[in-house]
Amino acid sequence: MTTARRKIPLSLQVLLGVGLGMAAGVVFGTGPIALGLTTEKLGTLGLLVIRLLKALAAPLIFFAIVDGFLKTRIRGRDGRLLVGICLFNVTVAFGIGLLLVNTLRPGDLWRGHVDEMLGLVAKDGSPNPLAAAAAARPTLDPWKNVTGYVPESLLEPFVKNHVIGIVLLALLFGVAVRHVSDERSREVEVAAGPWVVAELVHSGFQILLAALEKIVAFVPFAVFCLVAQVVGRSGLGVFKVLWVFLAVLLAGLFLHSLVYYTLAAWLVGRKPPNVFLKEGLPAILTGLSINSSLATLPLTLKSLSRMGVSDGSARLGACVGTQLNNDGITLYEAMAALFLAQACGFELSLAEQAVVVVASLMAGIGISGIPEAGLIVLPLVLSAAGLPEVVVAAAIPLIVPVDWIIARVRSGVNVMADMLVSILLDRFRAEE
């Protein structure tokens, strides 16, 4: 049974969970199923899996960043070039995403549906709880709350799931361990302390990955439970506007990859479209098929070699820089968060949207190469947007039915990001 289940891709398991959840919601509604079990109680069970994902995501990001920081050593101009190119690329991605979401305002078409699916539509004229939450939520203005990003204790970011605080701690810890390791390596008798810490960090990261794999295996069950709850409350009508979410997300991803990447590779990297897209197509299609830019690296390196990119630039941009080349994930996280904020009536200023952007960027860096990365960190980014936990839990079953499509496109975008960064690195390094 277990072996057979493993042969079924997670995306198909999720779709099966969506279908069964819809059927259960239509058949049973809010009434009893058996032994006092209702779709409402199923929703509570599904929420527990989402909570576990959030609980594991926070320490996972911390250990992933520290582990990557300790293993990767980039010095001098190459390091500055790599970081600069990656930051410029992701800035363009966020610009495209924010422009689409703020101009088209697709979340407005979902306005009211979120209240309905959560059972928050007031029947007696009392204030809407979701509207009250939107009015009472604290400001996300980064200039007013900048001190809030620096934790008062080491445990505070993990308890409150503050992505920015977690990343700051991870960077500080990584720099400190690296510094101590470098100092000890200059001594005659090398102390084992820093290396023990590095090994503990790596082991902790692997243990969290193993635990995460177990939790992700229950995601189809959680989707079944949450979809049954949503459909039981509101019927199938809540899925009618799902195409809006899919269309806007795909538009942002396609604009960034097919337009910006292609133009940048041509105008700056001197690789015309018939070279960049033709030679890179095998790697791009493989990333789309297997839903992993990390597993596609061998093909990415071969594509870059056929384009005439030097081995050093290819390895630096695609292998080392893969931790930063996650435009697909970061663009998705930010657009999804802003889309749902609009749907819930949370009007975010540009400064508040900047906080969501930073949270998406940091979460994307920390979760690179991890299976189902977008789904894992989405609850954290939605929380950074100020959305209540009940909205976060309800949003997951609505997004998951199309996430398997978006996830593959995200992987294809990340593969193209690896290639573009390598091409630009090679171009700038050749000018030295």
**Cross-strand partners of 38:** 32
pTM listed for this prediction: 0.69
d(CA 380, CA 61): 11
- The pLDDT of residue 132 is 45
Percentage, residues of the chain above pLDDT 90: 9
Q: What's the one-letter identity of residue 137? A: R
Q: How far apart are CA 111 and CA 121, in angstroms?
A: 12
Tokens of 395: 């949003």
Q: Which among 175-184, 245-254, 286-295 has the top mean pLDDT? A: 245-254
Rounded to the nearest integer, the mean pLDDT of the chain is 75
User: CATH topology for 2-430?
Assistant: Proton glutamate symport protein (1.10.3860)
Q: Which of 24-28, 63-67, 150-154, 397-401 has the lowest mean pLDDT?
A: 397-401
Element (H, E) at 34: strand 32-34
Q: Looking at the predicted structure, is the pLDDT value of residue 85 above 80?
A: yes
**Tokens describing residue 426:** 């090679």
Q: How many CB atoms lie within 10 A of CB 105?
A: 14
DSSP string, 171-184: HHHHHHHHHHHHHH
Cβ atoms within 10 Å, residue 235: 16
| Amino acid 276: pLDDT | 93
- Higher-pLDDT residue of 185 and 225 is 225
SS3 62: helix
pLDDT for 312-349, tens place per residue?
A: 788 777 776 666 777 888 888 888 888 888 877 777 77
CB proximity list for 263: less than 8 A, separation 6 or greater: none
| Cβ neighbours of 281 (radius 10 Å) | 11
Amino acid at site 181? S
CA distance 157 to 343: 27
Write down the domain spans for the chain.
2-430
Q: Which residue has the higher pLDDT, 136 or 18?
A: 18
CA 352 from centre of chain:
19
Banded pLDDT at 431 (limits 50, 70, 90)? low
- Mean pLDDT over 184-209 rounds to 68
Q: In 72-112, which residue ranges form alpha helices assigned H by DSSP?
A: 76-104
What is the torsion angle, in degrees rounded to the nearest 10, for the CA atoms of residue 218, residue 114, residue 237 and residue 38? 50
Range of lowest pLDDT (130-144, 241-255, 273-287, 296-310):
130-144
